[in-house]
Amino acid sequence: MNILVINCGSSSLKFQVIDAETEKLLAKGLCERIGMDGASITYENKVENTGKEVNETPMPDHKQAVSLVLNALTNEKTGVLKSLDEIGAVGHRIVHGGEKFTSSAVITDEVVEAIKEVSDLAPLHNPANLIGIDACKALMPGTPMVAVFDTAFHQTMPEKAYMYALPLSYYRDYKVRRYGFHGTSHSYVSKKAAEIVGKPYDSLKTIVCHLGNGASVSAVCCGKCVDTSMGLTPLEGLIMGTRSGDLDPAIIEFIAGKENKTAAEVVSVLNKKSGVFALSDELSSDFRDLEEGYENNHYAKLAIDAFCYRVAKYIGSYTAAMNGVDVIAFTAGIGENSGFVRGKIMEYLGYLGIKINAEENGKRDDVLKISTDDSKVQVYSIATNEELAIARETYALTK
Ligand code: AMP
């Protein structure tokens, strides 16, 4: 059964088609600049590996984008499907499931309503995700659809980890609490880590470091997420590409006063103009550029050093939270590709009895063991695959 995986943003739509039985990727692509000038669709047939095909074409809305995706998938020459009947189900990535969704759900009218209800917790993401659902429903009316939530994996966090020390009415009235994100990735990588070390998932203490443009750490104890670094929104926790991560909340009022800005404007700076981008004196949010500047540019070095220090502090606190750690797994763009950053983080972790194999750490592979055999904690780089995880969930609920 083929699963179409859709990840819909406000002006973009990423898609993959995965054969759920063989877990083979059949096609993938991306619609960009939806609703803007210069919209384009990138399509790759992965069966024949014909390479990327990019077409600039008008895309006034997401329905048109989904329609173009379906045309590309069934195109006589380059398509991987004979007809849309070959799509058994659609899996949608949904950013925020609030407290309502502790796992994936088959999309019904009630589920759509529930996603709408928590949209104020993710005003940039959930509405875009819902547009994707609507567009697919209009063009593939009989095909079952599943919502896979970024927050669901973290719903096992205990109260002491998810509550903010704020007036309880904020939680009771507005559901202000920590939710965590990247859950699909944390779940996939922690399970894969258990598979790789050959131990039952529910017997391990694992720390997953999802280090991409957005970055978060999670503590997975005995098969359950017990803590994660992102909060009510993805702004909390690690220093990220352009997000500040943890800071003193009083800074918001302070800067608002100094620069005559609203709270919303300052929060926008914290989301879009901060992080390693800001610390590197706006050199870049991309770690490839920062690594290049590390030796000669003070601020590129500062950005990387501060980023690694924050990750190491989270690893330390999650080791304490779980009273130990068996496996540390690095994933996502930086975690999978940068031996340099992994090495810098690991320099802080000698106290855990971690020993690193520098040669292996310099390599890049989907699964890389970077600790030595006598290291007290096993450390891996594991490629995440959120689309495959979404396809698996979708298949499990619709087969
Ligand atoms: P993601 O959000 O998971 O797609 O990660 C994107 C980020 O990964 C980019 O912004 C880069 O900072 C980082 N990245 C990708 N490739 C490399 C690389 N070869 N070395 C260092 N960082 C990388």
Residues of the chain with CATH 3.30.420.40: 2-149, 198-386
- Tell me the pLDDT of the chain averaged across its residues: 97
Backbone φ and ψ of 233, nearest 5°: -130, 170
Looking at the CA of residue 210, tell me the nearest atom of ligand 1: 3
pLDDT given at position 50: 86
What percent of the chain stands above pLDDT 70?
100
Q: Is 234 in the pocket of ligand 1 (CB under 6 A)?
A: no
Backbone φ and ψ of 309, nearest 5°: -60, -45
Mean pLDDT (whole number) for 190-218: 98
Q: What is the pLDDT of residues 83-132, one digit of tens each?
A: 999 999 999 999 999 999 999 999 999 999 999 999 999 888 999 999 99
> Can 150 be counted among the known catalytic residues?
yes
CATH number of the structural domain 2-149: 3.30.420.40
Query: Left if phi > 0, otherwise alpha if psi is -120 to 50, otherwise beta: which for 145?
Result: beta
Mean pLDDT (whole number) for 315-342: 98
Mean pLDDT (whole number) for 330-356: 97
- The residues, any chain, with a CB within 8 Å of residue 8's CB and separated by 6 or more, are 14, 62, 92, 93, 128, 129, 131, 132, 135
Q: Which residue, 50, 55, 44, is CA-closest to 15?
A: 44
Mean pLDDT (whole number) for 335-358: 97
Q: Is 332 in the pocket of ligand 1 (CB under 6 A)?
A: yes
Q: Which of 213, 239, 307 to mutate to test the pocket of ligand 1 (most atoms within 8 A of CB)?
A: 213
- The pTM for the full model equals 0.95
pLDDT greater than 90 at residue 65: yes
pLDDT given at position 352: 97
Which residue, judged by its Cα, is nearest atom 15 of ligand 1? 333
Q: Which residue, 287, 273, 208, 261, is CA-closest to 235?
A: 273
User: What is the C-alpha separation between 153 and 54, in angstroms, rounded?
Assistant: 35
Mean pLDDT (whole number) for 42-71: 95
pLDDT given at position 9: 87
Q: What is the 3-state secondary structure (H, E, C) of the chain?
A: CEEEEEEECCCCEEEEEEECCCCEEEEEEEEECCCCCCCEEEEEECCCCCCEEEEECCCCCHHHHHHHHHHHHHCCCCCCCCCHHHEEEEEEEECCCCCCCCCCEECCHHHHHHHHHCHHHCCCCHHHHHHHHHHHHHHCCCCCEEEEECCHHHHHCCHHHHCCCCCHHHHHHHCCCCCCCCHHHHHHHHHHHHHHHCCCHHHCEEEEEEECCCEEEEEEECCEEEEECCCCCCCCCCCCCCCCCCCCCHHHHHHHHHHCCCHHHHHHHHHHCCHHHHHCCCCCCCHHHHHHHCCCCHHHHHHHHHHHHHHHHHHHHHHHHHCCCCEEEEEHHHHHHCHHHHHHHHCCCHHHCCCECHHHHCCCCCEEECECCCCCCEEEEECCCHHHHHHHHHHHHHC
Q: Is 292 in the pocket of ligand 1 (CB under 6 A)?
A: no
Q: What is the pLDDT of residues 130-188, one digit of tens each?
A: 999 999 999 999 999 999 999 999 999 999 999 999 999 999 999 999 999 999 999 99
Mean pLDDT (whole number) for 215-235: 97
pLDDT given at position 395: 98
Confidence of residue 10 (pLDDT cuts 50, 70, 90): confident
pLDDT greater than 90 at residue 359: yes
Mean pLDDT (whole number) for 18-40: 96
State the pairing for strand pair 378-382/367-369. antiparallel
What percent of the chain stands above pLDDT 90?
98
Active-site residue identified among 61, 134, 150, 365:
150
Confidence of residue 37 (pLDDT cuts 50, 70, 90): very high
Q: What is the pLDDT of residues 166-176, one digit of tens each?
A: 999 999 999 99
Multiple choice CATH, 198-386, 3.30.420.40, 3.40.50.300, 3.55.50.30, 2.40.30.10: 3.30.420.40
Q: What is the pLDDT of residues 379-394, one digit of tens each?
A: 999 999 999 999 999 9
Q: Is 286 in the pocket of ligand 1 (CB under 6 A)?
A: yes
Confidence of residue 7 (pLDDT cuts 50, 70, 90): very high
Which residue, judged by its Cα, is nearest atom 8 of ligand 1? 333
State the distance from the centre of ligand 1 to the C-alpha of 290, rounded, in angstroms. 11
Which residue, judged by its Cα, is nearest atom 9 of ligand 1? 286
Q: Is 307 in the pocket of ligand 1 (CB under 6 A)?
A: no
Q: What is the pLDDT of residues 252-301, one digit of tens each?
A: 999 999 999 999 999 999 999 999 999 999 999 999 999 999 999 999 99
Looking at the CA of residue 287, tell me the nearest atom of ligand 1: 12
State the distance from the centre of ligand 1 to the C-alpha of 381, rounded, in angstroms. 14
Q: Is 288 in the pocket of ligand 1 (CB under 6 A)?
A: yes
State the distance from the centre of ligand 1 to the C-alpha of 386, rounded, in angstroms. 16
State the pairing for strand pair 378-382/52-56. unpaired
State the distance from the centre of ligand 1 to the C-alpha of 189, rounded, in angstroms. 17
